[in-house]
Structure 1
Amino acid sequence: MELRHIRYFLAVASEMNFTRAAQKLCIAQPPLSRQIQELEEELGVKLFERRPHALRLTEEGMIFKEYATQVINLVNKSTEDIRERNHGLQGTLYLASVEGHAPRLYAQWIAAFHKKNPHVQYSLWNGNSDDVVHRVMNGLCDLAIIIEPHNAEGVESLPVYQEPWVAMIPASNPLSQNPSPTIRACELLPYELFIPSRTSRLEEISKWFGPDAKPIVRGRIAHLLSAYELTRLGVGITIYPASAGDIANLTDVCIKEIVEPSNTASYILIWNKYRQLSHVAEEFLNFIKEQ
């Protein structure tokens, strides 16, 4: 199997049409079809389900697409790493993060770093902690920001920020009428809650209510905008780091810091300790450590 076979497959998987994929690759359709057929024979599975007027990935094809994408990303990243070591800081920094305050941290760091290194490019990816850690461990990003606690093995970490946890409450909820800027965790018990999506986060937040209490968790949310919209429409109360207030229209929701117990969302920068960081990633990490 050669890299061109993988690139051909990804082009067809993207276009879901052999003619368009061939045009994109600047090759004729018959050779492309033969290359895909040879790839299927080598793997011993069908990657595409072919119909008269439709093409779709088989289950094996979807799995292979995920791995093929990782392979091409790693090849592209490795190529950039080699080039930048010979020509200075002009590669791409691959960064990932959870939501909350993490994007703001990246923005501040990049703005300052860019002044000294104007030729560096940036690829930023956002998701929940599990997805972010997966990208770090599989070499798909150089550095990432997550919130503790985490169960990722094989990473180095650097504390970078802390902020309190808050309750985002619909304006229609009676709790929003209390002028106090804080709220006790026990006051949230009668209400349906939305929390960040990690399992470890559910375990952590459940402890706030005591050993015998059972909070009503209506859903787990990976993206802050989804949490805000559900809260704004009165579906439930969202528990999130304090930076949730950055996007909130405070006529629709009320933000209160959770106390009793008082808890802190601790952001950490992580990287894979078993992989050599690219030159530009090393320089960026050193820059952050100096801040």
Structure 2
Amino acid sequence: MELRHLRYFLAVAHEQNFTAAANLMCVSQPALSKQIKDLEEEIGTPLFIRGSKIVQLTDAGLFLKQRAEDILELSNRTLTELKADEAEITGEINVVCGEIEGVSFVAQAIKKMNRRYPKVKFNMTTGDEETVRYQLDKGIADFGMFVDLTVLPNYKCISVPIASPWGVMTWKGNRLAKKKFATPKDLLNMPLILSRQMRNNNTLATWLGYSTDKLNVVGTNDMLYNASKLTEAEVASVITIDGIINTRGTKLCFVPFKPLFPIKVAVAWKKNRIATKACEKFLEILREMEQKPISRGFFTKSP
């Protein structure tokens, strides 16, 4: 299997048509069809369901599509890094993270990086914990952000100073909206939306003092914006971190937990991975920011 085979395969997968893919890749349609047929014979399974006008991916094709995109991304990044001028800091840095207030810490580091090394570009990807782990482990991302994880055996990390509390985002007509704080007892029997990560770990259960199975969880979410729309429709309240969704001027409000539900956020990178010069410089900035006290009200709530 060669990289060109993967490029041809992805062209067909994206265009869903051999003729259109051949035009895109500047090859003849018979030549492209033969390349795909050879690839299927090498793998030992069909990659496409061929129709009269369009083709669709088989299960094996869907799996290969994800892997092929990762492989070509790594190949392109490797070539870019190898061609970089040794005397100049250039290249790309890939960061993957969830929707968390701690992203502001990374944003400030990127700002400093842009001032010092303007030829370095950043690519940001949003995803849940599973996505962060996958991209770090596969070398797709250089840095990732984790929430409420104290044990990261496969990674090195820097703690992110944030002061945003956990709590409940709800609508202003909800009974909970009239309270200053939300307690574990308040959450019983209340329709709730949780992140998949929170549903699958014990962090919330430790704060509640009882199993999350006792909660009335009507759904899970990966992206908070979509969950906020369900809350606006008064479907359910969302357990989340303050500051991610701006509730000012909306029918939504945020009620913090009591007792305080501490949050720990870390910027992590894979152990024993050879870092590019751009990544080394970015890491230096992250460590500078970790060691210096925050002089601005960047991570603190105004009274």
Please tell me the TM-score bracket, short chain as reference.
over 0.9
Q: Distance in 1 between matches of 2:189 and 2:198?
A: 22
Structure 1 residue 65: deviation in Å? 1.1
**RMSD over aligned Cα, in angstroms?**
1.9
Contact in 1 for aligned 2:6/2:68 (Cα 8 Å): yes
Q: Distance in 2 between matches of 1:11 and 1:167?
A: 45
TM-score, normalised on structure 1? 0.92
* 1:218 has 2:218 as partner: yes
List alignment gaps of at least 5 residues for structure 1.
none
The one-letter code matched in structure 2 to 1:255 is F
Q: Distance in 2 between matches of 1:110 and 1:174?
A: 41
Cross-structure match for 2:251: 252
Q: Distance in 1 between matches of 2:236 and 2:91?
A: 44
Q: Distance in 2 between matches of 1:102 and 1:263?
A: 16
Aligned residue for 1:198, secondary structure, equals helix
Structure 1 residue 250: deviation in Å? 4.8
Equivalent positions of 1:106-125 (< 5 A) are 106-125=106-125
List alignment gaps of at least 5 residues for structure 2.
290-303
Distance verdict in 2 for CA 1:151–1:15, change over 3 Å: farther
Q: Which moved more, 1:274-283 or 1:121-130?
A: 274-283
Cross-structure match for 1:139: 139
Q: Distance in 1 between matches of 2:200 and 2:47?
A: 37
Aligned residue for 1:12, secondary structure, equals helix
Cross-structure match for 1:81: 81
Aligned residue for 2:46, secondary structure, equals coil
TM-score, normalised on structure 2? 0.89
Aligned residue for 2:90, secondary structure, equals coil
Aligned residue for 1:99, secondary structure, equals coil
Cross-structure match for 1:19: 19
Equivalent positions of 1:56-71 (< 5 A) are 56-71=56-71
Structure 1 residue 36: deviation in Å? 0.8
* 1:272 has 2:273 as partner: no
Q: Which moved more, 1:193-202 or 1:16-25?
A: 193-202
Aligned residue for 1:157, secondary structure, equals strand
The one-letter code matched in structure 2 to 1:288 is L
Structure 1 residue 202: deviation in Å? 4.7
Structure 1 residue 136: deviation in Å? 0.5
Q: Distance in 2 between matches of 1:50 and 1:221?
A: 35
Q: Distance in 2 between matches of 1:212 and 1:110?
A: 40
Q: Distance in 1 between matches of 2:42 and 2:98?
A: 39
The one-letter code matched in structure 2 to 1:206 is A
Cross-structure match for 2:294: none
Contact in 2 for aligned 1:157/1:271 (Cα 8 Å): yes
Richer in strand (by share): 1
Structure 1 residue 248: deviation in Å? 2.3
Q: Which moved more, 1:79-88 or 1:9-18?
A: 79-88
The one-letter code matched in structure 2 to 1:22 is A
Count how many residue pairs are aligned between Structure 1 and Structure 2. 287
Contact in 2 for aligned 1:149/1:200 (Cα 8 Å): no
Q: Distance in 1 between matches of 2:124 and 2:195?
A: 20
Cross-structure match for 1:194: 193
Cross-structure match for 1:235: 235
Q: Distance in 2 between matches of 1:28 and 1:14?
A: 17
Contact in 2 for aligned 1:84/1:280 (Cα 8 Å): no
Aligned residue for 2:56, secondary structure, equals strand
Cross-structure match for 2:2: 2
Distance verdict in 2 for CA 1:43–1:87, change over 3 Å: farther
Q: C-alpha offsets along residues 215-243 of structure 1, whole Å, 9 cap, x if unaligned?
A: 22222211110121111111111111112
Q: Distance in 2 between matches of 1:276 and 1:252?
A: 49
Contact in 1 for aligned 2:142/2:269 (Cα 8 Å): yes
The one-letter code matched in structure 2 to 1:129 is E
Q: Which moved more, 1:54-63 or 1:161-170?
A: 161-170
Cross-structure match for 1:127: 127
Q: Which moved more, 1:130-139 or 1:77-86?
A: 77-86
Structure 1 residue 199: deviation in Å? 5.1
The one-letter code matched in structure 1 to 2:103 is P
Cross-structure match for 2:205: 206
Structure 1 residue 206: deviation in Å? 2.3
Q: C-alpha offsets along residues 243-281 of structure 1, whole Å, 9 cap, x if unaligned?
A: 23x432454112111012x11221100111032122211
Contact in 2 for aligned 1:168/1:239 (Cα 8 Å): yes
What is the percentage of aligned positions where both structures have the same residue?
28
Q: Distance in 2 between matches of 1:47 and 1:150?
A: 41
